[in-house]
Chain A
């Protein structure tokens, strides 16, 4: 065990994965000698050489297309998109190509080894284009897996799973936790399962569900609620596609109430999908409407960032409203 922040845990995961697989390549904008604008790939070029860890020209669709080509011919590309806000130029390569490679070819070709890593989320005064949470654009795409860790320990284990998973995975890293989240992290390689949610805190009155940096927020809200004698169960979804319906449904059948929190805007956000599914699975168990505490349906604002964010206080209010319904 060693104390690591999330960046160190990610860097450590990449180091271990590259050492174990000589087909693995890391590339993106500024990831080479410089080690990435957040330093997630620090030291990798020195250790594994310029052929295996390198800068690309500044072109997201090129990075994604290049990654598809590498993976289609048996390599293990781990491509970085500098900010999730800039993944949209690569949307076509990811949605029409990566996601459909196996299906459209009748499993003659696939991009099994492909992983995209990208920092996402707000809380860092990033304004419109350094704050977005675009996960819901990808959860609708058949063929993709979407994974979001909540702390350093999770980041290492889930990233190693994502790299080894035989499907294309988008790995969203909550950048406001890059240095803020510090855990005891095993120094050896380990994996955490994809497609499995984790019950972080057990409770009986209401289920709170989030992913990434927002898990910390709902945990804080749960503590506030505990002072009012409301006993919250907290779940980290971890994988959004395919998501763990069973764990969430089991919890809601126990508590009778569900609150979902995400930074992305409310309308069309992934909470909508969870709400519809849980309403169908748990109709006879629900004692109040499923609550969604999300970002506003606006672009991510700069000066009103605090007001925009679905913070612990907004979550606490929604918990009370649900319990008192």
Chain B
């Protein structure tokens, strides 16, 4: 049990490892024009899977565009887009089985869509209405679905990383041939919970895929101010973890890497780290304006690597999609999103009683008293509390 995991090479002269002696290759399968590299080893993918992936891409683009506008109009309080990172998120989600557990940061609603979260469910969450599965308690985009094995998102960064190690361990103990997948950004990887979770998963041989979206920025902070090492991938090796770096704008590369990661994690009961190199094409959130910290030229350069466009060209080359299909899909989802938005914003808020539910399994005496006092107060000043006073 002592330090015998790795063989030691002994030297007799002080010799430091060069800090850039480690080269980490990046997996690329798909070229900008939608053709694959000559020697590319493609993932398992057929027409049906391709269409399902593309469908989620178009939906998320449409949803992001429409809901960012809705936030600008003051109809919802907050929004975050996935723009530019659809291949990283959907490509990895498409490599999973339905009962693999997803733990996300917040920019992975595309994975939830891929699993079947409905347009209406997205809307109800964002409008915090009484049909929201989360009962209107969290900010917009903090989705969760027990049915789809997608654990509810929370704002504190990286907390889901050691949790994913625990979820993976539970799957192993329950004898399931499933993995947990844990998404996080390169900024979150600077949190202590990243270190804690990676090390716990490795030591305890947990079947979990750690999926890092390295999109260049944590709000305004560029990666040069986030770390001085070789990205996030180099750390995986330090934890004794199977590691790969992929082009995060290459749908086929992400899919291939995640398919293999899943197989490895289950077969060997070990964690795997995937670092997907991508670019956050949109603002950090609806509360952020990137023009204060990065150039339009830089954004324009990355527009040329649009992951959805690249995948679309591949589909067209394969004869599995036409420009007409693409246009029809966009217009169908524009309408669907708009219709659902109009419905969701008219659905009432959850009843005031919900404020004390689910703090514990049953409300305490203290909480019941606080609710009664609150209801009495709201009834006395109904105009000051329009969301609840009509439905006490």
Cβ proximity bits A46-62 to B, threshold 8 Å, 1 near / 0 not: 00000100101101011
Q: Which of B142, B145, B156 is within 8 Å of A92, CB to CB?
A: B156
Residue among A56, A61, A109, A143 making CB contact with B193, cutoff 8 Å: A61
Q: A37 near B: Cβ within 8 Å?
A: no
Distance in Å: Cβ of A91 to nearest Cβ of chain B = 11
Asked if residues B165 and A69 are in contact (CB atoms below 8 Å), the reply is yes
Does residue B138 face the partner (Cβ distance < 8 Å to A)?
A: yes
Closest to A52 in B: B173
Mark the stretch among B13-21, B109-117, B199-207, B378-386 that contacts chain A: B199-207
| CB interface residues, A 95-112, toward B, < 8 Å | 96-97, 100-110, 112
A195 and B366 CA atoms in complex are apart in Å by: 11
A70's closest neighbor in chain B, by CB?
B166
Interface string of A269-309 (1 = CB under 8 A from B): 00000000000000000000000000000000000000000
CA distance A245 to B368 in the complex (A): 14
Task: Decide yes or no whether B324 CB sits under 8 A from chain A.
Answer: no
Residue A73, interface by CB 8 Å: yes
Q: How far is the CA of A54 from the CA of B172 in the complex (A)?
A: 15
Determine whether B171 belongs to the interface, using a CB cutoff of 8 Å to chain A. Answer: yes
- Closest A residue, CB atoms, query B364: A242
Whether the pair B134, A108 counts as a contact (CB closer than 8 A) is yes
Are A103 and B166 touching (Cβ within 8 A)?
Answer: no
* Complex contact A62–B173 (CB within 8 A): no
Indicate which residue in B137, B159, B366 contacts A65 across the interface (CB closer than 8 Å). B159
- Could you say which of B103, B134, B167, B171 contacts A106, with CB atoms under 8 Å apart? B134
> Which residue of chain B has the shortest Cβ distance to A145 in the bound complex?
B360
CB distance from A213 to the nearest CB of B (A): 26
In contact, B360 and A167 (Cβ under 8 angstroms): yes
- Contact call B200/A56, Cβ cutoff below 8 A: yes
Interface size class of A (residues with CB under 8 A): 35 or more
- Is A268 an interface position by the 8 A CB rule? no
Q: Is A40 located at the chain interface by the 8 A CB criterion?
A: no
Residue of B nearest to A77 (CB): B166
Bitwise, B176-214 to A at CB < 8 A (1) or not (0) is 000010000000000011011101100110000000000
Interface size on B, residues (CB 8 A): 48
Instruction: Report the minimum CB–CB distance from A166 to chain B (whole Å).
Output: 4
A-B contact pairs, 7 of them (CB 8 A): A59-B195, A59-B196, A65-B163, A66-B197, A104-B152, A105-B152, A145-B360
A interface residues with partner B (beta carbon < 8 Å): 23, 25, 51, 54, 56-57, 59, 61-62, 64-75, 77, 89, 92-93, 96-97, 100-110, 112, 142-143, 145, 166-167, 195, 242, 245
B132 touches A54 (CB 8 A): no
- Say how far B196's CB is from chain A's closest CB, in angstroms: 3
Give 4 closest A-B pairs by Cβ, nearest first.
A69-B166, A65-B162, A62-B196, A69-B163
Verify if B127 is at the interface (C-beta below 8 Å from A): no
Question: Does the CB pair B361–A109 fall under 8 Å?
Answer: no
Across the interface, which residues of A come within 8 angstroms of B142, CB to CB?
A: 104
A106 touches B135 (CB 8 A): yes
A306 vs chain B, min Cβ distance (A):
37
How far is B173's CA from A67's CA once the two chains are assembled, in angstroms? 14
Q: Which residues 147-170 in B have Cβ within 8 Å of A in the complex?
A: 151-152, 154, 156, 159, 161-170
Contact for A96 among B154, B199, B204, CB less than 8 A: B154
CB-based contact A61/B162 at 8 Å: yes
- Is B174 an interface position by the 8 A CB rule? yes
Asked whether B200 lies within 8 Å of A73 as measured between CB atoms, the reply is no
A282 vs chain B, min Cβ distance (A):
16
- Which B365-382 residues sit within 8 Å CB-CB of chain A? 365-366
Docked Cα-Cα span, A268 to B180, in Å, equals: 41
Knowing that A62-B199, A105-B133, A106-B358 are A-B contacts, what are 6 other residue pairs whose CB atoms are under 8 Å apart, sorted by A's residue number?
Answer: A59-B199, A62-B195, A69-B163, A69-B166, A75-B166, A104-B152
Does chain A have a CB within 8 A of B359? Answer: yes
Bound complex: CA A112 to CA B101 (Å): 18
In the complex, what residue of chain A is closest to B142 when comparing beta carbons?
A: A104
Alpha-carbon distance A112/B156, docked complex (angstroms)? 21
Taking a contact as CB atoms under 8 Å apart, the answer to whether B166 and A104 are in contact is no
Distance between Cα atoms of A97 and B357 in the complex (Å): 17
Among B103, B144, B361, which residue has its beta carbon within 8 angstroms of that of A166? B361
Cβ-defined contact, A242 with B166, below 8 A:
no
Chain B residues closer than 8 Å to A56, beta-carbon distance: 200, 203-204
Interchain CB contact (< 8 A) of A97 among B163, B167, B173: B163
Report the nearest B residue to A71, measured CB to CB. Answer: B166
Which residue of chain B lies nearest to A102 when distances are taken between CB atoms in the complex?
A: B358
